[in-house]
A and B are shown apart, each in its own frame.
Chain A
Amino acid sequence: MATIGLLVVLPLIAAAALFFIKKDSLRTPVVIGFAALIMLACVWLAIGHLTGTMEFYPLKSQLITYATLVIDVILGVYVFVKGIKHGVPFASVLAGIQTAIVVVFELTVAHGVNIDNDIYVDSLSVMMAMIIGFVGSGICIYALGYMRVFQEQHKDQPDRRHIFFSIFFLFLSAMFALVFSNNLAWLFCAWEVTTVCSFVLIGYTRTEEAIQNSFRQIVMNMLCGLAFAIALVYLGAAGILELDKLINLGAIGLAAFPIALLAFAGLTKAAQIPFQSWLLGAMVAPTPTSALLHSSTMVKAGVFLLAKLSPAFGWNFNGMMVMLIGGLTFLICAFIAISQSNAKRVLAYSTVSNLGLICACAGVGTPEAMWAAIFLLIFHAVAKSLLFLCVGTAEHHIGSRDIEAMDNLFVRMPTIARFMALGMLTMFIAPFGMLVSKWATIVSIADTGNIVLMLILAFGSAATFMFWAKWLGKVLAVAQHSADLEKGVSKSEWFAIGLMAFMVLFCSVAFPFISESVVVPYLAQFEQFVFPGLLPAWQTISATLGFDNLLIMAIIVLAILASFAVFFGRSKKRIVPIYMAGVGVDSEKRSYRNSLSGVSESSQRNWYLEDWFGEKALLPISNIMGIVVLVVGIALAYINLGGGALL
């Protein structure tokens, strides 16, 4: 209990301190110190609670409730003012409505609702805390080195790094609060803090594009906040303001409509179709911001909420809505990622796509699907942060974030290229984590007999292979003579990248044990999953995926790593130039002497198949489909509320 408080307060203190520290020499030890403290606190929490059952704490603190109200109002006013200032009145209107609803609600309805437990801790929230603590703080450390270079490259802009780091830690604090709140009003407050934090971070560079994109983000996420607020009002009227009680109600009868609204909020935050554009727009921000938004915060808050609500989904309208939106997003965004040559946009589309898969799993709502969702979430967090950090560092040293410019990175930045390859392998190929999780997804979907999701999964996985494999190929290409550009990468960047790589490997190898000792027991405690006549959750999971198969995967990972360590690059063969239709001149430029004794240069770009998988071809239709599914889904949930008297 005290550890949870510590996890929320520690980053808060760091945020406050960093806001006033403008000297780089002082900032470095403070950031590193607090990051280390947060990681320690996470480990401490994990030791106590990782394998334990769900525990609740009745805090019953009026003080915190009022504090959340004050924070809500401050956030509302902040967005309102910003909206007026930058000429986006729609954002102001949304902020105004939302704040008004929350204030009225808190002062009237919520006051009368009895709340048994404000705070809880279970294995899922501990795992989330580990992700936030390790990945999030790791990115903070990375940002030290990255932002120094960034500032040097943007000398014309005032040094606003103190705000940057302050917001980073505030973000972490809000995320910790989010994963431990059982009181929905508190959860809402943390939810809104993360929205506004990413708003500030996306607009950090203050270029026109950045500001425009930050407002796109805030408008979409204020919409989701509004949905959340309306859900609060409905639930408050029914006297339920606790997450666990809500989940136990299930998604039928009274709870159908508020759960649909919360699902909508989660989907928006997780940047699902038709709201994916805010996360794509967020790519204008400095890379640590992208890494943070994609791996451990913001979008993960969205899928976390959906994963929590997962037992209430399944074969009901809400479950269908989440399943369809997630599936559609997984498929379409994997297609679009093929057509992108900007590395950060590929990463963004891949994130959205993977989050879609997690949402679809949450929507399916069976124990196997939840198992898959949790592992997809874990592996996505560690692998994606590794990839973002590598791309960010590479960008600073090769001067481009284009995939074509990463050709031959293997020789120019050997260590970065190897880590990048590790990240990519983890993202899309067995026996590494993401794909094993996808395996579980396949199993769970095969079990439910949902043909639509089966097709989506099959075609989406094929597309995923395409866009990763061609990028991986470019990065691993070897020119015989190239300059080493890796010198000058800062220690903080190396540390963070190393930390992420370690976590990727650790999770891949410890996978079966994490499953057996943490995730399966977590799933086994849900009563919804034990149907009369059927096996309880943990047995069905073991039966379909099997501990032995997971173990085989882990062993193959180890075998592959060992062979890389022993044999990779040890070939004793005589090295000869490649065939170029003429004598080679420069291996890096791939130039050769042509038949007229001149020098020709050959160039070879990857395929991006724009006509087939471009944004223009796919986005309009899929956005319309997404909107239709959401509108129909929420409408059905509403009708269910009006006519249904199941409670």
Chain B
Amino acid sequence: MTAISFILALVGFGLVAPIIGCLLAGLDRKITARLQGRVGPPLLQPYYDVRKLLAKENVSVNRFQDFYIAMSLFLAILAGVMFFAGGNFLLVVFLITLSTLFLIVAAYSSRSPFAEIGAEREIIQVMSYEPLVILMTIAYFLAVRTFDVGAVFGLSQPIIVSLPLVFIAFLFVLTIKLRKSPFDLSYSHHAHQELVKGITTEMSGKTLAMVEVTHWYENVLFMSWVGLFFVWGSWIGILVAVIVALTIYFLEILIDSNFARVKWQAMLKWSWLVTLVFCTINIVVLIMVS
């Protein structure tokens, strides 16, 4: 990662990611509506929502919450910039975890019983997907021999070839990361299964707008992790990556529409089990081959 790549990523990811994230969110609502036999809102509805949130009166339950949320947003952007600058994959993972921690602390700080349950569930979610994320970075290292994301462009074949099972396990926990049913325990876009408003119960106006935007950035970053598996030293790789990422996103919407929220026990058990089995097999094979 050089200074130039950092600046390019800063401008690129900082400006383009929210647009893509917003469009993805709009697409999500549109497709979901069609799956349910509704017309659905306009594509730009997420943008209109955020614009309206920004115009709301500035109220808060304490003087600290919006700072935590701002930090959460800042760190999510930083994580994305580090990723697109070709930086260290583990660093990216750590930054996005810190971003989530700030969201959790923001919910706790309100001291609302409803937000606290949301925060508690968010912690369980982190605990469910964190092993996979760490193992995925290790597997990435074993396949590429460096933690630097930029190294994929020097490969002769995409890492999906050596890490197919890790990829499947990643898809499993991706549902948690994208806050999709059945694993949207802490914060759901489906009102009927939500406890007041989950982790964001006490957030409003600009603060809630920041949460939404953070979510856009995060989604783009996570979809790029999907793409990472399909990129190699050719420009076709980027095309493949984009197509695969869009397909996976559509798949996630399908899953989201077809499942109800599960209990945390099921989420924790299944995501750990899938991580354990798939990653172990894949990594052992990888070590034995090399």
Contacts and interface: CB of A to CB of B under 8 A. Distances in A.
Contacts of A579: 112, 114, 196, 201-202
Contacts of B194: none
Contact of B67 (A407, A472, A546, A569): A569
22 contacts: A429-B94, A429-B97, A429-B98, A430-B95, A439-B90, A449-B142, A451-B280, A451-B283, A458-B134, A459-B276, A466-B127, A476-B105, A477-B116, A553-B91, A567-B67, A573-B58, A573-B59, A574-B60, A576-B59, A576-B61, A579-B202, A590-B111
Interface string B104-135: 11011111111111011001101110111011
A576 B135 contact: no
B63 A570 contact: yes
Given A461-B130, A462-B130, 18 more contacts: A449-B287, A451-B284, A455-B131, A458-B275, A458-B279, A459-B131, A466-B126, A466-B127, A474-B108, A476-B108, A477-B111, A478-B109, A556-B78, A563-B74, A569-B64, A573-B63, A577-B61, A612-B268
B97 A465 contact: yes
Interface in A534-575: 544, 546, 548-549, 552-553, 556, 560, 563-564, 567-575
Contacts of B283: 451, 454
A78 interface: no
Contacts of A472: 101, 105, 108
Contacts of B124: 466, 607
A574 B138 contact: no
Contact of A446 (B97, B104, B105, B138): B138
A465 B126 contact: yes
Give the size range of B's interface with the partner.
Answer: 35 or more
Contact of A478 (B66, B94, B111): B111
A408 interface: yes
A606 interface: yes
A478 B124 CA distance: 22
A429 B65 CA distance: 19
B147 interface: yes
Contacts, number: 187
Nearest to B202: A578
B70 A567 contact: yes
A450 B87 CA distance: 25
A480 B62 contact: yes
A571 B210 CA distance: 15
Contacts of B229: none
Given A478-B62, A604-B113, A546 B88 contact: yes
Contact of A560 (B60, B71, B120, B141): B71
B97 A430 contact: yes
Interface string A610-642: 001000000000000000000000000000000
A575 B120 contact: no
A567 B116 CA distance: 24
B155 to A, nearest CB: 18
A590 B113 contact: yes
Contacts of B61: 478, 480, 575-578
A465 B135 CA distance: 16
Contacts of A560: 71
B272 interface: yes
A390 B124 CA distance: 27
A577 B59 CA distance: 10
A469 B123 contact: yes
B111 A606 contact: no
Pick the most buried of B71, B117, B132, B276: most chain A CB atoms within 10 A of its CB: B71
A446 B63 CA distance: 43
A578 B110 contact: yes
B138 to A, nearest CB: 5
Contacts of A603: 113
A4 B91 CA distance: 40
Contacts of B141: 443, 446
A473 B63 contact: no
Contacts of A200: none
Contacts of B67: 563-564, 567-571
B145 to A, nearest CB: 10
Nearest to A452: B280
A463 interface: yes
Contacts of B95: 430-431, 556
B38 to A, nearest CB: 29
Given A466-B126, A578-B202, A579-B201, A569 B63 contact: yes
A442 interface: yes
A602 interface: yes
